[in-house]
Amino acid sequence: MDALEKQLMINDLLYFYESLLTSKQLKILHYYYSENYTLKEIAQLENISRNAVHDHIQNAVQKLEHFEEKLQLKSKQEKRDELIQKILHKTDDERIIKLIKQLEKVA
C-alpha cells in the first residue's frame, strides 16, 4: 500500500471510528493525515518529542485498524455501496431507483 492509499484508508477509518480515539490521538492524526504536517511540526505544536508523535500516530492507526477488524463498519459500508450500485444498474423501475436513492442518503 502506497502513502496515498494509506492516507485515504486512515481518513476512511477516522470517519467511522474517530469518536473511539482520545482527543490527543485525533488531533495528531488530523495534523498528520489531513493537514500534512511533518512529525517535527506536530512535535513543536504539541510540545512533545518527534518520537512521541510517531508513537501516537502508530498507536492510533493500530487502534483504528483493530476497530475495523472487529466491527467492520467500513467494509460493510463498502459492500452496501457496491450492492446499491449493482441494483441501480439492473433496474429501470423509478420506484426502486427512488427508494435506493433514499437508502444511499441513510447509509
- Residue tagged 512529525 (cell numbers): 39
Q: Supply φ then ψ for residue 50, to 5 degrees.
A: -60, -40
- CB contact at 8 A, 28 and 46: yes
- Residue tagged 512535535 (cell numbers): 43
Whole-angstrom CA distances from 21 to 11, 17, 57, 70, 99 are: 13, 7, 11, 15, 35
Tens of pLDDT, residues 55-81: 999 999 999 999 999 999 999 999 988
pTM comes to 0.83
Closest CA to 88 of 76, 79, 101, 73: 101
Tens of pLDDT, residues 3-57: 889 999 999 999 999 999 999 999 999 999 999 999 999 999 999 999 999 999 9
The CA-to-CA distance between both ends of the chain, in Å, stands at 27
